[in-house]
Amino acid sequence: MTDSQRSTADGPVFEILLNVEPEDEQESNPVVIGEVGRNIVSGLRQDGYAVEPVYSGQKGALELLFMVGTVLQSGAVEAWTHIDAIAALCTIFETAKPLLLRVFKSQEKHPIKISVVIDGAAVSVEAADLQDAEAALVLAQRFHSAHPAVKVTPKSQVKAKVRVSKK
């Protein structure tokens, strides 16, 4: 059983790779990246997320990588095999929504930009995108419109990319 197929008493674990990096590598500040990373990880752990650092294999890399484990939202397991692309994307975004809200909440001091990358295809997410009850559907439709060829599966790799502004 792979890590992405693990389960808990609450349901199957869904893992999201959280990548904290400078918005502009030429003007990066490792101290700010570290502070942002610590704030995000601390907030996620306070909310009960399992967060583990991931080794990038690069010496002196200007990015921080973390694997964040969360439980798929109810009904998601059956949904993977019986639904269309929009519904599968809704499952991903509904599962990622609390994590993304926590990332935005953790970072009021430094401006950040977040993009969600699914199987290599990205869509940007603003804090306002997550406030509406229909947020997962809106994000799923935006992603599908931008990347109609991407076929989401239970093995799709999901990454939340947090870009930290120097400002």
What percentage of the chain carries pLDDT values higher than 70?
80
Q: What is the pLDDT of residue 57?
A: 66
Contacts of 167 (CB under 8 A, 6+ apart): 110, 111
Residue 123, judged by CB atoms within 10 A of its CB (0-12, 13-18, 19+), counts as buried
Condensed to tens digits (0 to 9), the pLDDT of residues 73-132 reads: 555 445 544 467 788 888 888 888 888 988 888 777 778 889 999 999 999 998 888 888
From CA 133, how far away is CA 82, in angstroms rounded?
A: 23
Single pTM value for the model: 0.76
Q: What is the pLDDT of residue 119?
A: 93
For the chain, the distance separating the N- and C-terminal CA atoms, rounded to the nearest angstrom, is 43
Residue spans per domain, the chain = 3-164
pLDDT over 90 at 146, yes or no: yes
Q: What is the pLDDT of residue 72?
A: 61
Quick one: DSSP state of residue 8? E
Q: What is the pLDDT of residue 114?
A: 92
CA 144 to chain centre: 17
* Average pLDDT over every residue of 20-39: 84
Q: What is the pLDDT of residue 7?
A: 45
From CA 62, how far away is CA 72, in angstroms rounded?
A: 31
Q: What is the pLDDT of residue 1?
A: 35
From CA 117, how far away is CA 122, in angstroms rounded?
A: 4
* Average pLDDT over every residue of 61-68: 78
pLDDT over 60 at 48, yes or no: yes
Confidence of residue 61 (pLDDT cuts 50, 70, 90): low
Of 123 and 155, the structure prediction assigns the larger pLDDT to: 123
**Range name among 24-28, 32-36, 69-73, 75-79 with the lowest pLDDT average:** 75-79
